[in-house]
Amino acid sequence: MDGLLFIVAAPSGAGKTTLAHQLLARMPDIAPSISTTTRAPRPGEANGRDYHFVDEATFQAQLEAGTFLEWAKVHGNYYGTSKRWILEAAAEGRDTILEIDWQGAAQIRKAMPNKTVSVFVVPPSAEILAKRLIGRETDSAEVIQRRLKAAHEEMRHIHEFEYVIINDVLETALEELIAIVRAARLTYAQQKERHPAFFTALDAATPPTAT
């Protein structure tokens, strides 16, 4: 049984990383996918835990070698997801969560259409998004303005996703994400893969007789 890929995408500042981390704390049977990026680490981030941080030359070499299942350039930096890691996790039956942008989500849906569950996280308003980006105190006013403009363009792709979470109250958004994971695991196709003996017996069974 192959594992599912839970794609969580969002504009910068919408809260996808916080949601993903809290989901992993609540559902430790889901494996986190660690992206490779040319972005500089933010305060508190660690190489190999939050991202694999590399320079652009290294990223380009990995890209040419076919290392990535998906990749994109976002806000001037490159991001990519390891093809080998994702395929191995799926083959071992492990569900995985990927924090990627809409471009990467489209690539993965195309590569693994029957194994992806896509979620787009949005802020309740542009004003709240701006407040969150300013509150992070990690970017200049110019960078924040670019991110807000990019967010507007990114949200034009919201219809490409199966699920949408409006992240107003974090705990509510988290419960909604958990509900999506649980529901995805209970589809007919997933249950048939997870419990083959039951469905084999069901197919072979004859109707019971009243006694």
pLDDT in tens, 80-121: 999 999 989 988 889 999 999 899 999 999 998 889 999 999
- Is pLDDT above 90 for 74? no
Domain annotation covers residue 179 = yes
Domain annotation covers residue 108 = yes
Give the model's pLDDT for residue 142.
83
Domain annotation covers residue 68 = no
pLDDT in tens, 147-163: 888 888 898 999 999 99
Q: What is the CATH number of the domain that holds 142?
A: 3.40.50.300
CA distance 160 to 113: 13
Nearest to 125 by CA among 102, 104, 148: 148
CA distance 147 to 119: 20
Domain annotation covers residue 59 = no
Residue 133 in 3-state DSSP?
helix
pLDDT in tens, 40-71: 998 889 999 989 999 999 999 999 999 999 99
Q: List C-alpha distances in Å: 70 to 82, 106, 111, 195.
A: 8, 9, 9, 31
Domain annotation covers residue 208 = no
CA angle 47, 63, 51 (to 5 degrees): 15
* pLDDT confidence tier of residue 211, bands split at 50, 70 and 90: low
Domain annotation covers residue 46 = no
Beta bridge partners of 164: 120
CA distance 148 to 143: 9
